[in-house]
């Protein structure tokens, strides 16, 4: 595997990678604190590469506040685009491979067919646009890259939909959840395992890949699943998107086709509800 460095290690996916790396016995992986490895600080990145001489750099750093990004365009772009560009340049200079995490929000979401990697990306939010710009910069600068688009990420770490629902469900008798936005939840532990399996494979099939859990669901059904599996007694009502206006527009349908990643790396992807059950069990513990 060689040396691996993780940028954005304090976030949700960084924590998932740490847990999975421990379980898999991955030794030479370094989870770097923000003050040592700020992806906007070119000098700091250079120092990291000189110190650790990584074979792989994993970028988990991202601006993910979708609604806030509509007004915070410069910061979202600096992290999602410029940060990605900085790492691509550093990897190119050092001969390292970059593993970068992107999003289903690069798609417009108006086509009810699972998106493949070659489909045209037409983001409808600042978040989606800046993530796409980051992808484009990496692709332009660095051949040795794996870009993994994922969707609806949750885990026992950080802030996410599952933890929010459990918190709200404990306090309220009734919740109204959007039922006309469809996609696939992704358990961060599964994504982290996929990333480390790709690295362990040693394969050089570089490029763009889609990864989420298997299956298709709405936010409403996702919430229902959370409450069913956690035995939380709360009434959930389905609502339409227009009944819950948000600053950023979301894709209506953002299911991704995972054929390419499964075929290339011989990866088995768990069904979303099975992974959700595991996460809820861990949260209870």
For the segment 247-279, what is each residue's pLDDT rounded down to a tens digit?
999 999 999 999 999 999 999 999 999 999 999
pLDDT value at 197 more than 90: yes
H-assigned helices in 103-147: 126-141
Cα–Cα distance, 22 to 28 (Å, whole number) = 11
CB-CB neighbours of 49 under 10 Å: 20
The answer to whether the CB of 125 falls within 8 A of the CB of 249 is yes
Task: Give 1's pLDDT tier (boundaries 50, 70, 90).
Answer: confident
Cα–Cα distance, 168 to 122 (Å, whole number) = 33
Cα–Cα distance, 26 to 58 (Å, whole number) = 14
H-assigned helices in 160-218: 161-171, 188-201
Mean pLDDT across the chain: 97
pLDDT of residue 279: 98
H-assigned helices in the chain: 12-24, 42-52, 66-69, 73-77, 83-94, 126-141, 161-171, 188-201, 219-229, 259-265, 272-284
Run of H or E including 178: strand 174-178
For strands 217-218 and 182-183, give the pairing: antiparallel
Cα–Cα distance, 133 to 48 (Å, whole number) = 24
Is 56 tagged catalytic? no
Q: What is the three-class DSSP state of 80?
A: helix
Which of 228, 232, 235, 234 has its CA nearest to residue 276? 228
For the segment 33-44, what is each residue's pLDDT rounded down to a tens digit?
888 999 999 999
Catalytic residue among 56, 63, 127, 209: 127
For the segment 76-105, what is each residue's pLDDT rounded down to a tens digit?
999 999 999 999 999 999 999 999 999 999
Cα–Cα distance, 124 to 144 (Å, whole number) = 29
CA distances from 267 to 98, 128, 134, 193, 263 (A): 20, 27, 26, 10, 7
pLDDT of residue 88: 98
Paired strand residues for 97:
56
pLDDT value at 174 more than 90: yes
Task: Give 145's pLDDT tier (boundaries 50, 70, 90).
Answer: very high
Mean pLDDT of 137-141: 98
- pTM of the predicted protein model: 0.97
The number of residues making up the chain comes to 285
Task: Give 21's pLDDT tier (boundaries 50, 70, 90).
Answer: very high
pLDDT of residue 162: 98
């Amino acid at each position: 595997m060689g040396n691996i460095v993780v940028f954005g290690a304090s976030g949700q996916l960084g924590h998932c990678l740490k847990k999975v790396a421990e379980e898999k016995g991955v030794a030479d992986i370094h989870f770097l604190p923000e003050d040592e490895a700020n992806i906007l600080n070119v000098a700091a990145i250079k120092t990291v590469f000189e110190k650790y001489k990584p074979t792989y750099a994993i970028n988990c750093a991202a601006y993910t506040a979708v609604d806030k990004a509509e007004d915070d365009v410069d910061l979202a772009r600096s992290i999602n685009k410029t940060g990605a560009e900085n790492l691509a340049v550093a990897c190119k200079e050092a001969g390292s491979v970059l593993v970068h995490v992107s999003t289903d929000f690069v798609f417009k979401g108006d086509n009810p067919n699972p998106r493949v990697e070659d489909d045209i990306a037409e983001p409808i939010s600042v978040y989606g646009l800046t993530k796409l710009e980051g992808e484009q910069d990496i692709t332009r600068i660095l051949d040795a890259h794996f870009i993994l688009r994922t969707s609806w990420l949750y885990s026992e770490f950080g802030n996410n939909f599952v933890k929010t629902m459990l918190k709200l469900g404990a306090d309220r008798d009734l919740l109204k959840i959007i039922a006309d936005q469809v996609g696939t939840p992704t358990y961060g532990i599964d994504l982290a395992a996929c990333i480390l399996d790709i690295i362990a494979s040693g394969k050089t099939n570089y490029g763009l890949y889609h990864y989420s859990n298997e299956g298709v669901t709405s936010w409403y059904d996702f919430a229902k699943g959370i409450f069913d599996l956690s035995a939380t007694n709360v009434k959930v009502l389905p609502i339409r998107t227009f009944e819950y206006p948000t600053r950023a527009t979301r894709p209506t349908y953002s299911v991704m086709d995972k054929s390419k990643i499964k075929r290339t790396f011989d990866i088995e992807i768990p069904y979303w509800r099975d992974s959700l059950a595991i996460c809820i069990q861990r949260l209870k513990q």
